[in-house]
Every structure is written in C-alpha cells, then in structure tokens.
Amino acid sequence: MIPKIPIQNLYYLLCYIWDVPDLRNKVNVNGEKCHSPENLLATVLLNICEHLLKRGLAQSYRYEQQEVEGIGGKLNISSTLKSGRMRLGYTNCQVDELSQDTLINQIVYSTLKRLYTIKSIDKSVQENIHKAIHKFPQIQTIHLSNKVFDQVKLVRSNRFYSLALHVCKLAFQSTLPKKDVLGEYEFIDFTEDEFKMNYIFERFLMNFCKQHCKEQFPQVHREYIHFQLTPFGLMFKRAAEVLPIMETDVSLYNPQTGEKKILDAKYYKETLVTKYGAKEKVRREHLSQIISYVMNQENSNNPHTFNTSGTLVYPTIDEDFDFSYRYKETNHIIHVTTINLNQDWDKIEERIKEIIGAK
C-alpha cells in the first residue's frame, strides 16, 4: 500500500515530469513545513516568486491605443479624425509600452491569491503568501483556466518561470471553489487520485530514463505496438479498423547492442492483490498487458525484438520485491519489481538504474 510518499520525494517526482530536474535542489523544500501537497505547492511557488522578484519580473511590450499630444507611436488616422481633437494638437496612436503585467506574471499573481484563501494551508505559509502578494507591482488578477495556461509561450532557457507555470497549473487543477463561500477555494489532494499519480509516476520514469540512461539506451520513447492479428472474412476492412493499438509507457533500445526493454509503470495502493484470504498475487491483467507488449512487438526484420524484456514497475513505501520469469521457451524475460519511494533520493535513483540495468 502507498499511504504517503515523503513530501520531498514527491517534489522531486514533479520536477522530473515537468522536465526541470536541475531545479529540484534550487528550491528549499522542508519536510516539516511542507507536510502536505498544498503546503508544498505554496512553498515552492513562494520560493520561485522570491527569486523572480529579486531578479526582476519578466517584461514584454503591450500595445495600447492612447490619445497623445502630437504624435507618439503608430498614428490611427481614422480614430484621430473622429475625435475631432486634432486641431488642438491631439492624436490617437498605438503606443508600445514595456510592462511587467504579462500573462505569466498574471498567472503567478492570481495563483498566489487563490492559494491564500485555502484554509488547509498553514498560517505561517499564508502570511508569507500575503507578503509576497504585496511585493508584486501592479499586476492584473485574472480568471484562471486551462485555456489561459495553454496561451503561455515561454523561452526554454527561463527555467524558473517554467517551474512556476507548472506549479500554478497543478495548483489550479487541484482547487475548487468552496460551496456557498464566495472567493474561497478548497484543495483536492491529487496524491489520493491513483489515475493522476500513475501519470506522474509514468512520466517520471520516462524523463528519468531520458536523463540518466542515455549512455546504455540512446533511444528512450513511447512505442506504438500493433496486435499481430491478420483480418479476413467478409468484413475484412472493418475487422482491420477496429483493432486497437498498444502504447508502452517507456521503451528503451540500444541500436549498437540490440538490447531492448519495455517498462510499464503501475501506481496502485495495493501492489499485490488477494482474494478470499489466499496468498497475494500479481494482478492478472498487468501480466497479460506486459506479455502482450513483448510478444506483439516481435518483428522478423528486427532480430533484437526476439530478446526484449518487459518490466512491471510498482512504486511502494514499504515492501520490496523482484520477481523474474521466462516466457515459454523464448528469450523474453518478464520482471515484476518495485521502487521504494520512502528512502533517500539517491537510493531511489540507484534502484531505478538497477532495474533498468544502467548501473
């Protein structure tokens, strides 16, 4: 069972899925103060804001239509003539103004104000949020939505803003307006959602392998696998169209050695399952899935596909195990293994490399 991942390790997982693992030690995450996901997100955002405010908030040009004396900027002849003030020396012009009131700053500022209303955030953290809000220059509060986040275009080199955007988006997705209380929000703990946590764990494995396993496995990607079924009969065309396509979580391949591995991330509160008091077992559907990946990726034109291994990877905070099996008389090895997330991060990294064989 996975009661709670240590909060610092949760933050490191998030840094990997957000593709900013290099920043995980740049932000101070204290396990005592950040004892819950909402306090974690608030504290991380506060740390980022402190950095951004010291360095200076990002600016961009904003174009506004203004009445100016003389001509300043791009003259709008039509509106100038309509105003009738040209004879007094005034014109309507489009003026370029360098401003900090940009969309990304509006998102950060509006998220701080949203987090400030959440009662489950510690008083000391709320006080720091209040102070941070008052340090911002004149920034508009905006209505946050998925569409707003999709509109942001960041320069890849601006890592702190990238981290801020991801924190703000997760905070937005994890908050709901309080019933019958205008302007207040409540936090929905995303770590209790197996679907969301499975996505986080899956993306973490992918990005970790891309960063740390490139030497042994230059190719790290998702792989689309077709079922090796040949349609026939009167409904030949339709039969081909209705076949689904399988998609791996992580496929690793080394074209020089021919070594190939498929990882399937499985985040479940119960790693092994039992029925009616019998001994615990691996989930049947999980085994079927990884075996299906391995068998259906075989390709006679690519000999290495007949030596592919498949691994089910379960996160845990207590029990550790490594089970290995050979599929029939083939060279396919199936592993069922765990990563204990309730330990120092360097040991977690070491464990993943051990599973992948990248040590």
For every residue of 289-344, DSSP letters joined together read HHHHHHHHT-BTTBGGGGG-EEEEEEEESS---EEEEE-TTSS-EEEEEEEE-SS-
Q: Please check whether residue 113 lies inside any domain of the structure.
A: yes
Average pLDDT over residues 233-261: 94
Tell whether 2 is covered by a domain.
no
Give a yes or no: residue 19 inside a domain.
yes
Give the separation between CA 175 and CA 178, rounded to whole angstroms: 9
What 3-state DSSP class applies to 184?
Answer: coil
Residues 109 and 231 both lie in one domain: no
Same domain membership, residue 199 and residue 162: no
Q: Residue 236: its pLDDT value, please?
A: 87
Lowest mean per-residue pLDDT among 121-130, 335-344, 349-358: 349-358
The overall pTM is greater than 0.75: yes
* pLDDT of 116 higher than 70: yes
Residues 6+ apart with CB under 8 A from 326: 332, 333, 334
Q: Please report the pLDDT score of residue 319 as a whole number.
A: 76
Q: Are residues 317 and 216 in the same domain?
A: yes
Give the pLDDT confidence of 207-244 residue by residue, as tens digits. Answer: 999 999 999 999 999 999 999 999 998 888 899 999 99
What's the confidence (pLDDT) of residue 101? 87
Query: What mean pLDDT comes out for the span 88-95?
Result: 72
Question: Has residue 234 been placed in a domain?
Answer: yes
In a domain, 286, yes or no: yes
Instruction: Kindly state whether residues 69 and 132 are assigned to the same domain.
Output: no
251 and 201 in one domain? Answer: yes
Is pLDDT at 38 greater than 90 in this prediction? yes
Q: Are residues 42 and 72 in the same domain?
A: no
Query: Minimal CA–CA distance to 134: which of 163, 115, 112?
Result: 112
* Residue 92, domain extent: 60-99
Q: What is the pLDDT of residue 1?
A: 43
Which residues are 338's β-sheet partners?
Answer: 314
Q: Is the pLDDT of residue 118 over 50?
A: yes
Shared domain for 210 and 135, answered yes or no, is no
CA 218 – CA 253 distance, rounded (Å) = 7
pLDDT at position 281 over 50: yes
The pLDDT assigned to 87 comes to 64
> 165 and 205: one domain?
no
Of 99, 128, 150, the residue that ends a domain is: 99
Percentage of residues in the chain having pLDDT higher than 90: 66
Residue 90 lies in a domain: yes
Apex 319 CA angle, 317 and 324, nearest 5: 125
d(C-alpha 111, C-alpha 17), whole Å: 20
Tell me the pLDDT tens digit for each residue of 132-175.
999 999 899 999 999 999 998 877 667 889 999 999 999 999 99
Number of domains in the chain: 3
The rounded percent of the chain whose pLDDT value lies above 70 is: 91
Q: Which of 174, 160, 199 is nearest to 36 (CA)?
A: 174
Return the structure tokens found at 200.
Answer: 């986080």
User: 294-331 pLDDT, tens per residue?
Assistant: 999 999 999 999 999 999 999 998 778 899 999 999 99
Same domain? For 158 and 108 the reply is yes
Q: Which two tokens stand for residue 70?
A: 């003389």
Give 272's contacts (C-beta < 8 A, 6+ positions apart). Answer: 280, 281, 282, 283
How far is residue 212's CA from residue 157's CA, in Å, rounded to a whole number? 21
What is the DSSP secondary structure assignment for residue 63, as one 8-state letter?
Answer: E
Q: In the prediction, which pLDDT does 243 show? A: 93
Q: Where are the beta strands (DSSP E) in 207-287?
A: 219-221, 224-226, 245-247, 250-254, 259-265
User: What mean pLDDT is predicted for residues 115-126?
Assistant: 94
Domain-ending residue, one of 192, 211, 228: 192
pLDDT of res. 278: 79
Under 8 Å between Cβ of 36 and 29: no
1 domain-assigned: no
One domain for residues 303 and 159: no
Residue 134 Cα distances to 112, 114, 137, 138, angstroms: 11, 14, 8, 10
Asked if 91 and 107 sit in the same domain, the reply is no
Q: How many CB atoms lie within 10 A of CB 207?
A: 20
| Structural tokens at position 285 | 């559907």
Boundary-marking domain end, from 192, 211, 239: 192
Do 134 and 238 have their domain in common?
Answer: no
**Residue scoring higher pLDDT (6 or 27):** 6
Using CA atoms, how far residue 52 sits from 152, 162, 285, 287, 293, in Å, is 17, 12, 48, 48, 46
Mean residue pLDDT across the chain = 88
Is residue 90 within 8 A of residue 138, CB to CB? The reply is no
Taking alpha carbons only, the member of 99, 280, 117, 272 closest to residue 185 is: 117
